[in-house]
Amino acid sequence: MSIKGTLNQNNSILVVWDVQNGLVKGIFNRDEFLRALDRTLNFARNHRIPVVFTRITPYPEGFEPFAMRATSRQFKMSQEDLELYLKPSEHDIVIPKNTWSIFVGTNFELLLRNSGRNVILFTGIATEIGVETSARHAFALGFLPVIVSDAVSSFNKEGHERSLMNMKAFFPVISSDELEKTL
């Protein structure tokens, strides 16, 4: 699926999903991922495409969702682990979020609609969790998600690969090299 001619600086935005210290430590392809993410960030900044970093923000104690409590899916990270691995530039946006979708509990959809942006480049950790959930949610809301395949990663290589195959059936999945050829 080609996106040449679809993506431009006026209608696109780059999401850097949960690239935090504690997650970067455990991914299976750390060096490749970081090189591709750097290439993708440079592409976006060079073409004046806004960049949004998400940051996992744990719920206050006692306010965790019922589903997390019922399944013992507690999420515990140190303050250092929660720090962003890459430092955003002064023009980047940082969105704290609590869920696996960038659209739940944030103003991200409002930012997109206010700015007329409808193409979302997704990068970050973890492919089969927040990236895929947010991409599917974006598509359901009428936005075009574009997954930068070498700039997403996971703790689970098989889950990562399966997620990329799932997403490829519905929306563009391209490499950072392919992205550089789109404009």
pTM of the model: 0.94
Q: How confident is the model at residue 103 (pLDDT cuts 50, 70, 90)?
A: very high
pLDDT 10s digits, 41-79: 999 999 999 999 999 998 888 888 888 778 766 667 888
- Beta-carbon contacts of residue 44 (< 8 Å; ≥ 6 apart): 14, 50, 51, 121
Packing angle, helices 157-168 and 132-140, rounded to 10: 20
pLDDT 10s digits, 17-47: 999 999 999 999 999 999 999 999 999 999 9
